[in-house]
């Protein structure tokens, strides 16, 4: 089959047999799928050799590029040794080493690591563990959860119940448990002249009012530290996390940090909560944990939580499991990812990349139809000022025509490139984006 035919053959079969995620399938009658034959570094290639810069890191998971030689080598070795084994009653070296190294990265404060399969399962685990902790402590009334407006924590029923994105949630409302939402410190919502930090402090007062009234029935506050991703890359001041931590301590409510997107260097520090100088009671990790190779999630917690489950009674234990818990291949990919962080001093080298990309994006930031250009670590976002309800689809297509894969959220365009992006790729990304913007905003 010639490459062009291979492309279209795959498209037709995919649209028939594969039910694609987060997609109204009928739209693929007019909007073609992108057939990907292979990946290398920041690039994705179709069967005809056309390439696209993966500026969204394949849904925010990829850190060190596609087909990374070091992760590939680690996985090949692991494949020859052990792919998977049941983690109830058995253990293996990659899961032990990963748990130890992740704990060390929290300064030993979150020394117990429970594994899941993907982000949503990590959130389910944290919610259940928090509730069960209070129950084991005799606090049977603490069954509720609080999250921020615009929060996104995944789409299984428990995770969706603390999510606040109407498009994903409203249809399933009859299936969901009520949770409370308090105002997001998203600085775009600040009053004129109010600093992000002052606005964060004002939002924390709303949290305080809520906890004052409801702490007796509240198990945990769950937040996406510093950047609320799926709602449209809402960014906020670390002051909010500091104040939220203090309030959670005062009112005996757990703080769950959902770092599924912002963890692993994405926020500019290894974990985002570090920027507030705090430690959460639960830390949810996934996405970048395996460098974007394999599904894996971890929920890390404190000795205090762990000890509340440690007992002679079976039912006081955390009787939760997923078949692929602690998968050896995925843990090995995660270890290879941590090795790259250490060997390449990634947190430091990303600072230079961050400045380079921000500089290259200056003409986008100054575009007369661009609003709220913002950046946290290796995440950049802005709003395109347009009344076109079809902007996201048109921009996506215009960027693809320029060799850049982007998926705007409504009018919000964001960059979340793999960390291996180099200077010429940065310039390719920003030039293509500017061009696509001019094409869509005329």
Ligand X SMILES: *Cc1c(COP(=O)(O)O)cnc(C)c1O
Interface with ligand X by CB under 6 A: which residues?
A: 118-120, 123, 152-154, 224, 229-230, 258, 260-261, 286-287
**In this structure, what token pair is assigned to residue 423?**
């200077």
The residue whose two tokens read 């899961």 is 95
For the bound state, the minimum distance from the C-beta of residue 258 to ligand X, rounded and expressed in Å, comes to 5
Sequence-ordered list of residues with C-beta below 8 angstroms from that of 360, at least 6 positions apart, any chain:
426, 427, 429, 430
- Cβ(120)–Cβ(284) under 8 Å? no
> Exposed, middle or buried, 230 (CB in 10 Å: 0-12/13-18/19+)?
buried
Q: Which is nearer to ligand X, 119 or 408 (CB)?
A: 119
Q: Which is nearer to ligand X, 154 or 196 (CB)?
A: 154
For the bound state, the minimum distance from the C-beta of residue 287 to ligand X, rounded and expressed in Å, comes to 6
Q: Which is nearer to ligand X, 153 or 353 (CB)?
A: 153
- Cβ(286)–Cβ(294) under 8 Å? no
- Cβ(227)–Cβ(252) under 8 Å? no
For the bound state, the minimum distance from the C-beta of residue 187 to ligand X, rounded and expressed in Å, comes to 18
Task: Report how far residue 160's alpha carbon sits from residue 379's, in angstroms, rounded to the nearest whole number.
Answer: 24
For the bound state, the minimum distance from the C-beta of residue 115 to ligand X, rounded and expressed in Å, comes to 13
**In this structure, what token pair is assigned to residue 147?**
């999250």
Cβ density class 300-315: b for 16+ within 10 Å, e for less: bbbeebbebbeeeeee
For the bound state, the minimum distance from the C-beta of residue 121 to ligand X, rounded and expressed in Å, comes to 7
Q: Which is nearer to ligand X, 294 or 398 (CB)?
A: 294
Task: Report how far residue 422's alpha carbon sits from residue 413's, in angstroms, rounded to the nearest whole number.
Answer: 21
Sequence-ordered list of residues with C-beta below 8 angstroms from that of 420, at least 6 positions apart, any chain:
41, 42, 64, 65, 68
For the bound state, the minimum distance from the C-beta of residue 263 to ligand X, rounded and expressed in Å, comes to 9
Q: Which is nearer to ligand X, 119 or 432 (CB)?
A: 119
For the bound state, the minimum distance from the C-beta of residue 224 to ligand X, rounded and expressed in Å, comes to 5
Q: Which is nearer to ligand X, 68 or 117 (CB)?
A: 117
Q: Which is nearer to ligand X, 284 or 440 (CB)?
A: 284
Provide DSSP, 33-66.
-----EEEBTEEE-TTS-EEEETTHHHHT-SS-B
Residue closest to ligand X (Cβ)? 119
């Amino acid at each position: 089959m010639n490459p062009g035919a291979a492309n279209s053959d795959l498209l037709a079969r995919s649209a028939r047999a594969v039910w694609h995620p987060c997609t109204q399938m009928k739209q693929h009658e007019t909007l073609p799928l992108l057939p990907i034959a292979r990946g290398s570094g920041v690039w994705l290639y179709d069967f005809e050799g056309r390439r696209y810069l993966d500026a969204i890191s394949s849904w925010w998971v990829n850190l060190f590029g596609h087909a990374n030689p070091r992760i590939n080598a680690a996985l090949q070795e692991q494949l020859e040794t052990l792919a998977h084994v049941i983690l109830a009653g058995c253990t293996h070296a990659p899961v032990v080493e990963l748990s130890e190294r992740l704990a060390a990265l929290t300064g030993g404060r979150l020394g117990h690591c429970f594994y899941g399969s993907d982000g949503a399962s990590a959130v389910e685990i944290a919610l259940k563990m928090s509730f069960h902790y209070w129950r084991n402590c005799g606090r049977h009334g603490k069954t509720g959860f609080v999250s921020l407006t615009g929060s996104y924590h995944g789409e299984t029923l428990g995770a969706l119940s603390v999510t606040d994105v109407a498009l994903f949630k409203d249809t399933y409302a009859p299936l969901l448990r009520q949770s409370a939402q308090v105002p997001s410190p998203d600085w775009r919502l600040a009053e004129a002249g109010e600093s992000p930090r002052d606005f964060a402090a004002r939002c924390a007062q709303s949290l305080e009012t809520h906890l004052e009234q409801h702490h007796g029935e509240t198990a945990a506050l769950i937040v996406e530290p510093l950047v609320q991703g799926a709602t449209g890359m809402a960014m906020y001041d670390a002051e909010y996390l500091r104040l939220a931590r203090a309030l959670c301590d005062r009112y005996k409510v757990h703080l769950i940090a959902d770092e599924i997107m912002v963890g692993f260097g994405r926020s500019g520090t290894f974990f985002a909560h570090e920027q507030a100088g705090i430690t959460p009671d639960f830390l949810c990790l996934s996405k970048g944990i395996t460098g974007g190779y394999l599904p894996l999630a971890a929920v890390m917690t404190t000795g205090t939580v762990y000890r509340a489950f440690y007992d002679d009674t079976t039912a006081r234990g955390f009787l939760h499991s997923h078949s692929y818990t602690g998968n050896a291949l995925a843990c090995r990919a995660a270890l290879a990812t941590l090795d790259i962080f250490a060997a390449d001093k990634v947190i430091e080298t990303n600072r230079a990349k961050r400045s380079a990309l921000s500089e290259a994006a200056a003409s986008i930031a100054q575009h007369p139809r661009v609003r709220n250009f913002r950046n946290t670590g290796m995440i950049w976002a802005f709003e395109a000022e347009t009344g076109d309800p079809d902007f996201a689809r048109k921009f996506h297509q215009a960027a693809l025509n320029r060799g850049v894969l982007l998926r705007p959220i409504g009018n919000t365009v964001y960059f979340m490139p793999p960390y291996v992006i180099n200077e010429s790729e940065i310039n390719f990304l920003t030039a293509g984006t500017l061009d696509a913007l001019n094409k869509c905003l005329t």
